[in-house]
Amino acid sequence: MLESHSTVPLQRAVVGMGGLLFAVIAVAASFSSAGPRHLAGDVIMLGIALGALLWALRWWLLPWPSQRESLLMFAAADVMITVACLQDSDRVYGALGAMLLVVTGGYLTFFHSPKVLAAHAAWSLLSVLVLSARMVAGSGDFPLAVVVVLTMVSAVVVTLPSLQFMFWLVRVESLSDPLTRLLNRRGLEFQLSGMFGVRDRPGICVMVADLDQFKGVNDLLGHPAGDRVLIRTAELLSSLAGDDMVVSRTGGEEFALVGYLDPQAALAQAETVRHAVAADPDIPVTVSIGIAAYDGRIGPRPTPDELLRRADTAMYRAKRGGGNQVFVCDRTSPPVRGR
């Protein structure tokens, strides 16, 4: 999903440029008076510079990495930064160079989990403590070591986690429906991209449910009453779906449910939903449901958009048949009608 965004090539170029800059820093440091004073240190710095160049080429020439690859790449970057700082003969410069860990932490803040950021913070603090102790042992400047450590603490323990939390809030708001608090269409697409990547759970289904005659509720009882019906429907669908299915409001009076179900289980679940909606006194309408399922055995694996489109088509066939029924896409049998 991320790879399809128009700004991704630019972002890949920027991250790759970071690798190039790190390579330049490593080479420049090795030739400076603050750099290594022995052959082993020069070799290590050269290896780090080559690794940083490979990093840059990978970002420039290949697609956006998977979560696992991204994590491994940035873990390697953290280690290389710390090792490079340990090679500097000027121990003050080496301790201050650990601030480059804030740069890698910035990426982890937006693209990885709080656990990953916490691990990065632990590594950063350990690195800066070692480098500061090394600096104090060489110069005796304890106050400067305190400044370096507190600066790193303010960046990786205070600032980056706060930024990650604020980013999480913004993302949750952008992916949620403000009325029902379910996922919205964008949130559903984001969730689907992850669910379709789970290869050990081949069977997956999408159910699109649309309330029948909902316009009459708004016309006769007013929009506040219509909102209450939508909220109650969202609560009912969430309770019936449980933890194994994703529930979203994709627009208007339309909802979508996605889970790892085969076609038979999906049909049974849809019938449960249909009967529950019809029996709920707080929902004065019925529901038409379309199902599109893939069992993982026959034919090529569909994309999330294809499965959503098929389920939407099946839902409209159910509505054209009179509503209050379930229709399964690509089935030759007639729709299951409400009783």
Catalytic residues: 253
Token pair for 104: 């890698």
* Contact between 104 and 77 (Cβ < 8 Å): yes
* Contact between 288 and 315 (Cβ < 8 Å): yes
DSSP secondary structure of 138-184: HH--HHHHHHHHHHHHIIIIIIHHHHHHHHHHHHHHHHB-TTT-SB-
What beta strand segments (E) does the chain contain? 204-211, 245-251, 254-259, 287-294, 325-328, 336-337
Write the burial class of residue 144 (CB in 10 Å: 0-12 exposed, 13-18 middle, 19+ buried).
middle
Beta bridge partners of 290: 208, 327
- For residue 319, give the nearest of 205, 209, 206, 207 by alpha carbon: 209
SS3 content of the chain, % helix, strand, coil (to 5): 65, 10, 25
- Name the helix (H) or strand (E) containing 19: helix 8-31
Sheet holding 336-337, edge to edge: 245-251, 254-259, 204-211, 287-294, 325-328, 336-337
* Contact between 65 and 3 (Cβ < 8 Å): no
- For residue 108, give the nearest of 42, 155, 172, 173 by alpha carbon: 155
CA angle (129 as vertex; 126, 135 as ends), nearest 5: 145
Residues 204 and 196: their CA atoms lie apart, in Å, by: 8
